[in-house]
Each structure stands twice: as C-alpha cells, then as structure tokens.
Amino acid sequence: MSKTSRPVPPRAPTLEDVARAAGLSSMTVSRALNTPQLVRPKTVEKVLAAVKATGYIPNALAGGLASRRSKLIAVVVPQINNSMFVDTIQSISDELAVRGYHMLLCVAGYAQQTEAELVATLLSRRPDGIVLTGIHHSTELKRVILNASVPVVEIWDLTPTPLDMLVGFSHEKVGEATADYLLRKGYKRPGLLWTVDNRAALRKSGLCEALARNDIREPAFVDVSLPARFASGRQGLRDLLKKGSFDVIVCSSDTLAQGAIVEAQASGLRVPQDLAVIGFGDLDFAADTHPSITTVSVDRQVIGQRAATLLADRIEGLPQQETIVDIGFHFVERDSA
C-alpha cells in the first residue's frame, strides 16, 4: 500500500528525465535544445514534445558550471533612481535580452570601497561580462577584475586607458562647450548649481578652465547632493542667489535646471531675460518646460546599447572594431539661455 504509482518526484525534471521520456540520451536532448541544427529534425520534435510533457526547465547553474559560460552580465551603477542612468540600464537590459543574456544589477552607491566589494561578490556568479559606471575605480577593484580576466565595459566616461572596453563621452569637453556658449552669448556672471559626483566634477573643471582662459574667474557655486532633484534645484538657486548676482545659472543636470527655472520665476525673475539657465542631459522634459531648457544632449540609450553589444560580441568571439567608443554629445540651444 505504499509506492504503487509515481512517488511524486519533488525535484524538478532534468535532462535525464526528458531523455527517458523521449527515448534518447540526455546528450541528444541537450543538443536538440542548444544546437538543433546538429540534430535530425524528427529527433528535435520528439525532444520538444518530451520537454513539454515533462515541464522541463533547464538548470542554468549546472549549464554554466559545465560550459563555463553563465550568460550573465553584471551591471554596476551608482544609483538606479537617477534620471541619467535609468535609460542606459533599460537599454542594456533590452539589448542583452535580445542576445540571450540576463542582467545582474547592482547598486554601488558612490563609495569606491563598496564598489570593490560588490564586484568581488558579483564575480562569484561567474558573469560572462561586467559593465561598470565610470572610470574611477579603486586599485583593489582593478586588481580583482583584471585577475578574473572577464570582459569589462566602462560607461559614461572617456579615457585613453580603460580597463578593457569603454563607451562614453568627454565630460571636460561638455564643460568647454558650455563655456563657449556662455561666451558667445555674452554671459559674464555665471553661477553653478552642481551635484557632487566625479563626472559632474569633470564637466565643472572643463567649464571653469575654459572660462578662466577668457578672464572669467571661478564662478560661485552651490553643491547639491545626489540624486539631482527638482527641489534641490529650487533650494540651490535660493542659496546661490545669496552668494551674489548672476546672469546665467549652469546646472549639472536638467532636473536641477527645471527646479532653478521654477524658483526663478516664483521669485519674479524672467527666464532668460533676468536670469538664464542651462542644464545637462536633455532629459525627456527639457524640450517642453516653459521656457524650454537649453542643455547638452547625450544619448543615454546608445551608451547602454553599445555597451551590451561590445560585451556580447567579445564574449561570442565576434570581430570587434573599436572597443573605445566616444558617443559624443551636442549642445542644444533652446529658450532658457
């Protein structure tokens, strides 16, 4: 009165179970699933039927262990809830999905120590590739990652000496382009509303040095904590206006610019006549605010798409052209400055 029929297997069906059901060897089933072109069509059919019958779901842990390819890409970003990065993350995810990879997403915060530790634990998943945000990493992280000899793409920055591959643009040049615009438009008294992160700092120094070369000395600025928010833009402008008088406010992101514009208007200043405002990023609202925001456009989706493509190509041994990609940027003149 005990084990009469099936003892109800509590464990998930394996390749072996499918093979048994199909009257084949497990190896043939594996081939039918992964490289069907190497298997007789009729056999493939049998296998697929058996898969459906058994409810088989492959075990990628076992597969990855055996094949040494996990089909996993680890992505490390400082923050998710940051308008700058979400679009990039989404496009990485989309492109990876097309290529058959899954995305392991890790939020590192802006502390280097944390990033090094995170990457170490991520490597235990044996990802086929890693995406890192930025190019400033602790030596510990570099050591670990180079030692693992896993393909890496750094994004959102530019350097002639990346760890491996890179997709980004020059933040210094963004700063310079902004300075050029200010000079061309005849602005003389700029004020800065600036978030405190590495990339923003580069844009700031590019801007300030270009201004200095034209005899405009270090502008007054207000630091803003991350992520950039509308409210910080409003508050930041209030703080800035206490420090002096300005004809233009340059913001390290459109979100701050949007806040600054509203704050200016709320305090009776006309934008751009009384106070001009410049943003960065060309976020989706920038063209539609009132006035629309003069800003620097960066294709955040392309960054993700190219990064994912670089990794997948490298992993799959496909020929690669450039592995250092400057996606550039362009200045967008609108109504706010």
Partner DNA sequence: TTGTAGGCGTTATCAA
Partner DNA sequence: TTGATAACGCCTACAA
Chain contacts with a copy of itself (rule: CB under 8 A): 12, 55, 57-65, 70, 72, 79-81, 86-87, 89-90, 93-94, 97, 102-107, 118, 120-126, 144, 147-148, 229-231, 234, 259, 262, 265-266, 284-285, 287-290
Residue 266 binds DNA (CB under 7 A): no
Which entry of DNA, a copy of itself, none binds 14, CB below 5 to 8 A by partner kind?
DNA
Nearest to a copy of itself of 76, 166 (CB atom): 76
Cα dist from 1 to 4, 5, 22, 97, whole Å? 7, 10, 30, 50
Residue 67 binds DNA (CB under 7 A): yes
Which entry of DNA, a copy of itself, none binds 43, CB below 5 to 8 A by partner kind?
DNA
Indicate the Cα dihedral angle 259, 269, 280, 81, nearest 10°.
Answer: 0
Residue 265 binds DNA (CB under 7 A): no
| Shortest Å, Cβ 69 to a copy of itself | 10
SS3 202: helix
| Shortest Å, Cβ 28 to a copy of itself | 19
Report which residue type is found at 116.
A
Q: Which of 21, 28, 83, 152 binds DNA (CB under 7 A)?
A: 28
| Shortest Å, Cβ 315 to DNA | 13
- Of the candidate spans 30-38, 95-103, 169-177, 239-247, the one that interacts with DNA by CB under 7 A turns out to be 30-38
Which structure tokens are listed for 85? Answer: 């990065």
Euclidean distance between CA atoms 221 and 232, whole angstroms = 13
Q: Which of 66, 139, 215, 317 binds DNA (CB under 7 A)?
A: 66
Residue 50 binds DNA (CB under 7 A): no
Residue 33 binds DNA (CB under 7 A): yes
**How many Cβ atoms sit within 10 Å of the Cβ of residue 181?**
18
SS3 76: strand
Euclidean distance between CA atoms 141 and 302, whole angstroms = 26
Residue 328 binds DNA (CB under 7 A): no
Residue 334 binds DNA (CB under 7 A): no
Between β-strands 330-332 and 295-297, what pairing exists: parallel, antiparallel or unpaired?
A: antiparallel
Cα dist from 276 to 35, 125, 220, 251, 279, whole Å? 61, 49, 15, 11, 10
Instruction: Let me know: does 172 contact 202? Beta carbons within 8 Å.
Output: yes
Euclidean distance between CA atoms 337 and 334, whole angstroms = 7
Which entry of a copy of itself, DNA, none binds 93, CB below 5 to 8 A by partner kind?
a copy of itself
Residues that bind DNA (CB under 7 A): 11-12, 14-16, 24-28, 30-34, 38-40, 42-43, 56, 58-59, 62-63, 65-69
